[in-house]
Amino acid sequence: MDTTVPVPNAPGVLPRAEWVKTLPQTIVASCVLLLDDEDRILLLRYARGLPAAGLWGLPGGMLDQGEDPVGAARRELHEETGIALEQDLRFLGYDHRADVLETGPVIDFYFHGGRLPAGQPVRRSSEHDHHGFFALADLESTPLATGLPTLTALLTAARTGTVVCLREGLPG
């Protein structure tokens, strides 16, 4: 026996396409952690005129329409450094940040690209004006786009074969 009671003037259910437009929008990005033979991290410095000018961060960027996080990580790494990795990227973790530069929420996916051979050339894009390999201890006074707690957690995950879930750049 049906016991539902009709509700007069109840709002209708939105068609799926319209309902989806009401959901929060989140930017998705992918970054690659690359190490040299001394366990130093490859970082790029953002060039003048960019929102993060002068800050150092991992190679990476936003996904293109229809792109998956691994594909975006490979593409961004190649665009920003000229490096095309042959091996698989290992998932290291993610970071959810509630608001980045007043654009709303961002989810960053992080992948480990392994170790670069000594002498591997880095061909920077115009987006960056400098690059270098850094030990964590060298970064305490360095202006970072990817924070030191994030880099520490990612390096630990890369060394131990684990995955890290971050919130606002911090293990949570």
pTM over 0.85: yes
Taking the CA atoms of 171, 142, 109 and 37 in sequence, report the sign of the dihedral they define: negative
**Is 100 among the domain residues?**
yes
| Confidence tier at 10 by pLDDT (50, 70, 90) | low
Rounded CA-CA distance 152/160 in Å is 12
Half-sphere exposure (Cβ direction) of 62: Cα atoms closer than 13 Å: 8
Give SS3 for 94: strand
**Is 12 among the domain residues?**
no
Looking at the 3D structure of the chain, how many domains does it have?
1
Q: Based on C-alpha coordinates, what's the Rg of the chain?
A: 20
Looking at residue 132, which CATH number applies to its domain?
A: 3.90.79.10
pLDDT tens string 16-39: 888 888 887 888 999 999 999 999
**Is 1 among the domain residues?**
no
**Is 16 among the domain residues?**
no
Q: What is the phi/psi pair of residue 28, to 5°?
A: -120, 130
Mean pLDDT of 72-79: 97
**Is 38 among the domain residues?**
yes
Question: Range of 133's domain?
Answer: 24-117+125-171
**Is 94 among the domain residues?**
yes
**Is 14 among the domain residues?**
no
CA distances from 45 to 63, 112, 118, 132, 166 (A): 20, 19, 21, 9, 23
**Is 97 among the domain residues?**
yes
Give SS3 for 46: strand
pLDDT tens string 39-48: 999 999 999 9
User: What local confidence, expressed as pLDDT, does residue 69 receive?
Assistant: 97
